[in-house]
Structure 1
């Protein structure tokens, strides 16, 4: 292993411009063998551009890249691989329809003497590659049949098999369960011990403090600073990222809930329930619990996306029995799903179309949409959410993750839904955009809306809500007042490890 202070990778004065936008401005970064170096910054800070330069997908305009102290050129992915650099993207670069083994040999398929594909060797080498990282995955399985966490392990196995010395991990736990994340952490520890240098891009502070040796912060395409984890506190990094101190990320004024808006009684579905709870006007209620506890399934039942087996739901006293999401929207529900790209947005349609789509009838006369009126209303919501107005005609896929989430939120703000369900509303969103989303949620509550949030981020769940409904095994097992609880108490109930067994609640009505 190299000396602990020797730079395996070093970038000096690297800049990249896209038209009038300066994506990277004279940035510095260095990476040592056997370390995990976190790269942090808000969306648009330059992290993705740096990653593309290292991957060979785009070329820098100026500056130097040094590997082992020698200046190198990285003009293509092949150049990156030749210098031992591998990128594990948040959206995996794999072929789901092919087997695990075929994915592991893709681009370097072994051949028989006759020139045909050597399938036995493909399978044998796949097992060896998986064993190298301790992954017990059947290489004959179609990759798409595996969980996201297991697919990620396959991509890491491929990178390690190519003798990657520098591994860039982009939001690697964003879609992983707790168990999968823990398995990834263990693998990162193994690679660190083997001298692999890792650039770790994440918005999750607790994860960064658990894994990283050092952190570098970019802001607005510029280098802000580097420090060791022992030198910095999370508040220091947040201040570096946003350019100002953040005293209390979750601060909101005490709320005074009004009458019940959402009243759920004995709701059940496939493997879910019965669950009973209320959300009042001017209140934020958060469903907490581990992945698989049934939180998202409850949201889907309410929104008509899954079939309800029994139970009663009322919105402002009116029964709601939606057969599909269209009927749920008509009843007064708005829903931002966990997977905004697959379920919440039309990625190839414009920002304007995505925001207006659920409210077009309001702007129609004799069945013809008055485009000017609709556009003005959309622009009002974009201003409210601090979305760039010149993004109006862009396909929504062109926006950053945080701005895509704002577009998804804007749709329901325009619709003026009585009940808003937000499933993991800040997943994959930077610290600045998180704060803006929290302000929107607080504003909705202040305007008398009933807001139901699902969050796996316990500080967030406690910090933004008035009450917590803790789920386990498809049922609500505990109701907690957010102001009177902490992460440990929530986890005790979420895992079933509470000292006194708490029977599943038939109702969680205050």
Structure 2
């Protein structure tokens, strides 16, 4: 019997039942979407399939053969491939593409096929063509774009003859054009008999690309059927167990004094300079398409990238030359790539939450374990981290709970200006609302928030003011309440900005520090 089948999968971590008799299958040449809120059991089910963790019960059958995986290597040998969300973690940036494509053979194959250097490059080039890339195989991975890296990982997976490929949030950081190209490649591979497991929180994309979908809630299958026959509202209902109702945006007030300003900040990647400002308690959005320079601006503001310019925080002027100086002055960054840049994955929730507080929790360079535990437990409760244990290893948390930890480590510091770069990337609807609640609470406390995102509806929902960013430049500063979704898309796509832009260009900080 052809196809991949998982039957009666069960898994518990301590007293918490994560999977409760889950059935899931994939046919050759189809895309089967796996949906569910963060913590529903998706990651655990896929980790079992990829050989990363063993199930407590259940069977895996692939093309008529029953398998029990004790390692990812065994899963790969059985034809399972995984394209992870953070593709940089699956590649060696300092090596050329062809060596990355063949890397698994060096590690996992006892008797590696003997191929000349020319044959290695030709093989890699053929695999790159199969995924729609025309890059030279000698190009270093670190010089590739994020979209190119994602397709390189896909080529690497195909090099091991994977027949069933797990795609984890594959379009989370892709532009619309890059998403179209990825979908075309998936369609081509489907014709070659490759089956895909597609995990995403972009439900409209799921309906477009998937043939079938399975929805998990609390470790159980609550829906299984055709992807296009179920309306979006019903998908959300199955995922959450409650009806989603449209809520009007709550009007917010913030102080008139400017708490944060930046002038002449150089974005070295685009060669542009940026001026911006934000009032105390204001949530300011930076809206732009993928590739507009939002992440580069956020990293320049925290002085992580080579930059220049002048900062002002609570009336005091600064010139930063390192993130240490920016953080010491009251800035903090919640980065887009939380697993790569925001967390110590092998460490506990407690260690991650208290890493910025060690000077307060230690004496004579000795950490008070009691103080550290009390601090972490308090943050876990206030943030609503699930499971509610500060001793849990952070890599075992869902994406939404990991994001809470990334935010939480800054809450009891001197941070006054919070930079959120794509903070809802790869997290579900419920977790997004929890992150929004944290952000609003920070603003209500008088903190200043800059929210960098290509999710335009999120910006309209949470922000007081929105800057429009195109090709590394801020073109307008607009009241969020006066914008529609369609206008914001139009402006960020390069559309002409009319009257509201004049207010932006003429706005001047009252004390003359920054002309925006």
User: TM over 0.5, yes or no?
Assistant: yes
> Against the structure 1 CA distance between its residues 62 and 358, is the aligned structure 2 distance closer, same or farther, given a 3 Å change threshold?
closer
Match of 2:512 in 1: none
1:43-54 to structure 2, matched below 5 A, reads: 43-54=38-49
Aligned-pair RMSD on alpha carbons? 3.3
- 2:262–2:309 contact (8 Å) kept in structure 1: no
- CA deviations on 1:427-463 (whole Å, 9 max, x unpaired) are 1223322111111112222223221111121221221
Report the 3-state secondary structure (helix = DSSP H, G, I; strand = E; otherwise coil) of the residue aligned with 2:180. helix
1:494 and 1:362 mapped to 2: Cα distance? 44
1:257 matched to 2:261? no
**Deviation (angstroms), 1:472:** 1.4
1:458 and 1:213 mapped to 2: Cα distance? 28
> Against the structure 1 CA distance between its residues 198 and 509, is the aligned structure 2 distance closer, same or farther, given a 3 Å change threshold?
farther
TM-score relative to the length of structure 1: 0.86
- 1:53–1:59 contact (8 Å) kept in structure 2: yes
Report the 3-state secondary structure (helix = DSSP H, G, I; strand = E; otherwise coil) of the residue aligned with 1:282. coil
**Deviation (angstroms), 1:418:** 2.3
1:8 matched to 2:7? no
Report the 3-state secondary structure (helix = DSSP H, G, I; strand = E; otherwise coil) of the residue aligned with 1:439. helix
- 2:82–2:166 contact (8 Å) kept in structure 1: yes
1:72 matched to 2:70? no
> Against the structure 1 CA distance between its residues 476 and 51, is the aligned structure 2 distance closer, same or farther, given a 3 Å change threshold?
same
1:294 and 1:142 mapped to 2: Cα distance? 22
**Deviation (angstroms), 1:363:** 5.2
Match of 2:293 in 1: 294
- 2:420–2:451 contact (8 Å) kept in structure 1: yes
Match of 1:101 in 2: 98
Match of 1:221 in 2: 219
1:56 and 1:359 mapped to 2: Cα distance? 37
Match of 1:484 in 2: 482
> Against the structure 1 CA distance between its residues 503 and 181, is the aligned structure 2 distance closer, same or farther, given a 3 Å change threshold?
farther
> Against the structure 1 CA distance between its residues 267 and 391, is the aligned structure 2 distance closer, same or farther, given a 3 Å change threshold?
farther
TM-score relative to the length of structure 2: 0.85
- 1:382–1:389 contact (8 Å) kept in structure 2: no
Report the 3-state secondary structure (helix = DSSP H, G, I; strand = E; otherwise coil) of the residue aligned with 2:356. coil
**Deviation (angstroms), 1:194:** 3.6
Unaligned 5+ runs, structure 1 = 1-5
**Deviation (angstroms), 1:60:** 3.6
1:61-460 to structure 2, matched below 5 A, reads: 61-67=56-62, 70=64, 72-75=66-69, 80-81=75-76, 84-92=79-87, 93-106=90-103, 117-248=115-246, 252-264=249-261, 266-269=263-266, 270=268, 271=270, 273-306=272-305, 308-311=307-310, 313-362=311-360, 372-388=370-386, 391-415=389-413, 417-460=415-458
- 2:353–2:405 contact (8 Å) kept in structure 1: yes
- CA deviations on 1:350-389 (whole Å, 9 max, x unpaired) are 4333323334445567887655445433332221111258
Report the 3-state secondary structure (helix = DSSP H, G, I; strand = E; otherwise coil) of the residue aligned with 2:58. strand
- CA deviations on 1:373-424 (whole Å, 9 max, x unpaired) are 4543333222111125863244534433322211121122212532211111
Match of 1:3 in 2: none
Report the 3-state secondary structure (helix = DSSP H, G, I; strand = E; otherwise coil) of the residue aligned with 1:167. strand
